[in-house]
Every structure is written in structure tokens, then in C-alpha cells.
Amino acid sequence: ARITFTEGQPFKDSPSAIVITNSVFPRYRFHESETEFVVYTDALKLMVNKGSGAISYYDANGNLLVREPERGGKWLTRKEVYKYIYPTQTEVSVNQGIDGVRVLSAKGQRVLDRMAFEAKLEFVFSADEALFGFGSHEEGFGNLRGKSRELYQHNLKAVVPYFVSTKGYGVLIDCGALMTFHDDAHGSYIWADVVDELDYYFIRGESFDEVTRQYHLLTGKPPMLPKWVFGYIQSKERYVNAQEMIQVVSEYRRRQVPLDVIVLDWKYWPAEGGWGQKSFDPARFPNPKAFIDELHKLGAKLMVSIWPKMTGDCPDRRELLERGLMLGDQSTYNAFNPEARQCYWEQAKRGLFVHGIDAWWCDCTEPFEADWSGAVKPEVHVRLLINTEYAKQYIDPAMINLYSIFHSQGIYEGQRSTTDRKRVVNLTRSSYAGQHRYATITWSGDICATWETLRRSIPEGLNFCVTGEPYWTLDIGGFFIRHDPNLWFWRGDYDAGCRGLTAPDLTEPDLKDTGCTDLGYHELYTRWLQYATFLPIFRSHGTDAPREIWRFGEPGTPFYDTIANFIRLRYQLIPYIYSVAAQVTLNSYTIMRPVALDFPNDITTYNLTDQYMFGPAFMVCPVTHPMYFQRNSEPLQNAPKTRDVYLPKGNLWYDFWTEKPFHGGQTIK
């Protein structure tokens, strides 16, 4: 059911960036009484209070799913919407940030653009239901009952305005503005910063998979990814030349450890000209096609990072500026403009794709990040204001969450228009509802190497995947390993052997950079990799120290052997994973799933945050605490060597390692 709430004006029915199908639902029946309108569909009964407009949602059998409060539950408050006007020659300053360049422009002229509304949508949830969704964030929330979420794009947030319930429904808010979700004893609501009207979809299904299928009917099907992307992806910040990358792949082959993809991070472009040029430095990559052909002969694919920001006098930036296709900072291309998307793709094609690269890494697609500095992490509400007010200087407030979906659209449509012989793969840091239709994979941003981060990552990945965005991953071992007291986000727990960010002017591998030597980190990395073996995408990446397997020992040592064995296990599972991925495309299946959504009748599953389903056959239970070493390689004494595992009711479960059977409805060690 689609619900649109407006105030004193005709319905706009404006084009949606999220919903791509005709959302007119002709099959319904209508009944009117003295106090209510009742709408019947094949799956739903909606009872609308004539006085307040409050809607109660029932399934086809008359069971209440959820309702809006009797006072109405839908509110629009008129507000002024401002925009910033920049002169053609805006003065900008450029600073090198930890995760790319930061461009500061002279502030534009703030002018009143139009009138619009803030919106608020209230629900009265049942005490016995669990909610999941809204994308991945930092806090490590699983079941969102009693929680709040701030929905804006950020390095550590990939937001999606959609949630699902264990009662068999989902709600999609068709809105590109800043939003918040709040649920506590005093009320439950979703608030949106700027809308012309409140527009949302209530989706009913007998199962979680049926809800997702209906959602994909609205937002598009996820394309089939190539088989190789489900193998092991080796990355780091950063490989500096072609020879180094060939040597790394060759060493994996020599060690007989599988690898399918190697990743080329930032600064592969020419030394002169500025950040973000989409072409190879001829000094370090003198023959790109021969280099990529050599990787292909070794059985590896190449993924290359590209950025929406360009600085200096690089040719790509110059072309976009001359054609008026930049946002107001004169450095970020205007992905909302179809002409700019086409221009950006043509640049990527002639500089990179023609040489044979296999996959894109679209980094920094928020594309703005205003709080990524300072020693003290700002409070939640302060961060929201800092980041969203900055984004509004360059993007319409009603669209600040949509940059990534338009950017992804440009890459997908550009490649598909160029060739149908290579499936699109796009690893990107931000997401939004509907972005899955552009073959995107989302990762969780620049996280830190701590056990707490590992624990939090599990429920965050689940809350992302339930939103119909099926492919999620993270930086195995955390992006930041060491601790920098001057930066709130660079707070890893391990310093020994870490060299920090790769120097921008480095052109040859640093042979002294042999990796983090802290055995406490080696244990954390190994546990993280074990967990990631059972993620949709299996990828190691980070700064401070390299991540190749030989940085963690040699054959015959425990961490090396465990890493090698789990990489090999991943490849044993590829037929299973690829088959499940086919179900994602064909039947809207979800690979990585909260246990509660497969066992909604077992309320013990509702608050499990460290167990999840990986397809229909595996329940994964990662180890999320150290057993052998703490930081500085100090051995742990008497640390527990077990963890609790809850087995949901109604099934017979088998231990993967021992094949021992267990009845459901119990906790085992």
C-alpha cells in the first residue's frame, strides 16, 4: 500500500529516486462507514479514521500488524528551504584528509529557495515485535526497539530509509532528506527534514523474503554479480605500483592460498595535476593493459578506486568545470545531473576501463564529511548538525542522502552501455534504498581495530542487509589499527609495527613495512577474518599496516594456518554462496539475515546480536573476545575458550565442525 499525506494542495507525484515502478495499485476494494474508510487489498486491510486520518494496518486474516496513534500520526510543518549560490570562480582550499582530500570553498550566498515541510510519521508498535533496518551505523544495535537512528550519509553510516518487522511487514519512506528514527516508551516516529509531502509504502508479506520481494518490485532487482567477486579480495592502503601488485598475487599463488581480486587504492594517478584523476601514472603503471593482462593470467581481477572529488589542474576536473558540471565546491562532480554522470563515466572509461579493469571502488560517495577531525568525538546531535548543514551548502536539503544512488547509477548505466560482456561490480561506502539495482556492494567505512568494533559490526551488517541491499562487507581487521590521540576516529588498540598512512609521494613499496607485530592484533585479525568468511563479500583492507597473509606468520604458525584454512573454506563454499546469490537476483533472497527473521516465533532470537543466518544452511556464531593475547602481545591468563550459542526452537541443528546434532530451544557452549 502506498500512503501519501499532503496539506491543502494537489498530490505532486514527483519522480522518485527510490521507487522505479508504477506505484498505482488498481486491485483493491473500498468500504466506508460513519467513522472509517476501509481499504482491502489481497494482503492487507487498512482502516482509516475519518476524523484524524490515523491508519491501522491488518493482514488479510484481520490480525493487527501495526497502527498509527489515534490522534493521527502524520504531521507536516511548513518550513523555509534555503540554497547556496556560488560564483563560477569560487575560491577553494584543499587539505589532505585521512580518507582523501577535503575541499573547503568560500561560503556561498544563502538565499530562500522555496517553502516545503518537515514531516513526522508515528507508529504504535506491539510489545512483542522486533524491528530491523535503516542501514549500517556505528553503535552496534540489533533489534531497534527502544533505539534511535540518525539517517544521514557519513563515512561510518550507510543509511536506508526502510525497516522490517518480525510481524511480517516493512515500511519504506520515499524521501531523500535527513531523517531520524526514534522508539521508546513515550512514542515511536520517523522524522524527515524536508519533504513536499509525506510519501511511504507499507509492505506486507507472509515471510521476510516475501516482504523483500515486494520491496524489490518497487525499487528494482539486484543484478547478478560475477562469481569471482565472492572469492577473497586482497586490499590495503595502498599498493604503489604495478610490480608490487603482481608480486603480491604471485606470492599468493606460490603459497597456494586462493585470491580472486586485488585492489588499487588512491594515488595511482599522475603525480602532477591533483587528486582524483581517473587515469594511471605512466611512471608507475607504464603499460596499464599489459599490467592488467598479467594479473588476469595469474587468475586475479583488478578493482580500482575512483573518487567523486577532483582537485588541482587534473584534466578530469578541468573538463567538468568547463562544462559547468561541478557542485558549488568546484571539486565534487554533480552526480544529480545526467550530463555530469555521462561525462564522469566517459572519463573513467577512457582512463581506466579501456585497459581492462574488472571492478570499481567508488570511494567517498557521501560525498561530504564535516566531522572527520579533532581529538574529541562530537555528541550525536552535534555530529548530525555539523554533517548535514555542511552537505546542505552544496546539495538540496531534500536530496542530501541521494548522492550515492545517482553516482552508482552513472557507473552502472555507463558500463552497461559500453559492454554487456562484463558484469558491473561497484564497491561503495554509502548506500540508499534502490541502490542495489546498480550492482553495488557497500562496506562499513573506516572502522577501528578493536574487539568492540568487531562485536558491533555483526548487528550493523544485519541491519543493512535486511533493507533489500544484499551485498555488505567491511575492512577485515579494521581500517585503523593504531591509536592517534589527536583524531577521535583513529582509535585502534595496536601500535607495534604500524607505520600509519602511506606517504602520498611513495612510488616504491616500503620494504621495512612488514606489518603490525602485536600478537593481540594478529588474534583479532584472525577472528575478524573467520567472521568475514561468512559475509556476502570477503575483503581485507586497511591502513597502518599491510594485510597479506604472510604478515601474520608463516605456514605452521597458528594465525597463518587459521587464516589460510578459512580462505580455503570460503572457496569450498563458493558453489553454495553463488547459488544463494542467484536466489538474491531471481527471488529477492537475503544472504545475511537476522536469526529473528527466520525464526519469528522464537522471541529469544529477537535480541541476538552475535549470531546470524548465512543463507538457509548456516547459523554463524563469531568469536568476539580474545582468548590468547591482549595488546602488546601479552598472553592472556585463564581467558574463557568457549562462547554461548543459542539454537532456535523447532529445528535440529548440527555442529559444522563435529557434525554433532543438537535440538533447538537451548543454549550450548
The residue with greater pLDDT, 657 or 91, is 657
Q: Give the Å distances, CA to CA, from 386 to 136, 175, 180, 646.
A: 20, 21, 15, 41
Domain regions of the chain by residue span: 2-78+112-219, 227-593, 602-668
Output the DSSP codes for 636-659.
PSS------EEE-TT-EEE-TTT-
Classify domain 227-593 at the CATH superfamily level.
Glycosidases (3.20.20.80)
| Highest mean pLDDT (candidates 12-16, 290-294, 508-512) | 290-294
> pLDDT at position 470, please?
98
Taking residues 618-628, report their average pLDDT: 98
Classify domain 602-668 at the CATH superfamily level.
Golgi alpha-mannosidase II (2.60.40.1180)
- Structure confidence by residue, pLDDT tens digits, 576-591: 999 999 999 999 999 9
Q: Is the pLDDT of residue 500 over 90?
A: no
**Do 2-78+112-219 and 602-668 have matching folds?**
yes
Phi-psi category of residue 375: left, alpha or beta, with phi > 0 → left and psi -120 to 50 → alpha: alpha
- Structure confidence by residue, pLDDT tens digits, 167-226: 999 999 999 999 999 999 999 999 999 999 999 999 999 999 999 999 999 999 999 999
Q: Give the Å distances, CA to CA, from 121 to 200, 447, 587.
A: 9, 32, 31
Taking residues 483-506, report their average pLDDT: 92
Taking residues 405-434, report their average pLDDT: 98
Taking residues 274-286, report their average pLDDT: 95
> pLDDT at position 100, please?
66
> pLDDT at position 105, please?
64
pLDDT band for position 164 (50/70/90)?
A: very high
> pLDDT at position 72, please?
93
Q: Is the pLDDT of residue 5 over 90?
A: yes
Block residue for cell numbers 561530504: 368
Instruction: Please count the CA atoms within 13 angstroms of the CA of 570 that sit on its side-chain side.
Output: 27
Percentage of the chain exceeding pLDDT 90: 91
Bridge pairing between strands 232-234 and 261-264: parallel
Block residue for cell numbers 520481494: 213
> pLDDT at position 11, please?
78
Q: Kindly report the average pLDDT of the chain as a whole number.
A: 95
pLDDT band for position 91 (50/70/90)?
A: low
Coil, strand or helix at 535 = coil
How far from chain centre, in Å, is Cα 179? 17
User: What does pTM read for this prediction?
Assistant: 0.96
- Structure confidence by residue, pLDDT tens digits, 104-161: 666 789 999 999 999 999 999 999 999 999 999 999 999 999 999 999 999 999 999 9
Contacts of 545 by beta carbon, 8 Å cutoff, 6+ apart? 481, 497, 498, 499, 513, 515, 516, 551
- Structure confidence by residue, pLDDT tens digits, 209-249: 999 999 999 999 999 999 999 999 999 999 999 999 999 99
Block residue for cell numbers 592484533: 521
Q: Is the pLDDT of residue 483 over 70?
A: yes
Q: Is the pLDDT of residue 10 over 80?
A: no
Block residue for cell numbers 532528506: 177
- Compute the C-alpha angle 645/646/651, nearest 5°: 120
> pLDDT at position 515, please?
93
Lowest pLDDT segment from 22-36, 457-471, 480-494 = 22-36
Q: Is the pLDDT of residue 89 over 80?
A: no
- Structure confidence by residue, pLDDT tens digits, 543-565: 999 999 999 999 999 999 999 99
Question: What is the rounded CA–CA span in Å between residue 177 and residue 399?
Answer: 5
- Structure confidence by residue, pLDDT tens digits, 329-351: 999 999 999 999 999 999 999 99
- Structure confidence by residue, pLDDT tens digits, 69-87: 999 999 999 999 999 998 8
Classify domain 2-78+112-219 at the CATH superfamily level.
glycosyl hydrolase (family 31) (2.60.40.1760)
Q: Is the pLDDT of residue 101 over 90?
A: no
> pLDDT at position 90, please?
64
Cβ(72)–Cβ(87) under 8 Å?
no
> pLDDT at position 107, please?
74
Percentage of the chain exceeding pLDDT 70: 96
Residues annotated catalytic, as ranges? 363, 366, 446
Question: What is the rounded CA–CA span in Å between residue 441 and residue 430?
Answer: 9
Taking residues 457-464, report their average pLDDT: 99
Amino acid at 246: I
> pLDDT at position 102, please?
64
Q: Is the pLDDT of residue 432 over 80?
A: yes
Secondary structure element (H or E) that encloses residue 151, with its range: strand 148-151
Coil, strand or helix at 162 = strand
> pLDDT at position 28, please?
86
How is the beta sheet containing 618-620 ordered, strand by strand? 592-594, 612-614, 618-620
How far from chain centre, in Å, is Cα 418? 26
Taking residues 534-539, report their average pLDDT: 99
Coil, strand or helix at 294 = helix
> pLDDT at position 98, please?
62
Question: What is the rounded CA–CA span in Å between residue 422 and residue 354?
Answer: 12
> pLDDT at position 505, please?
86
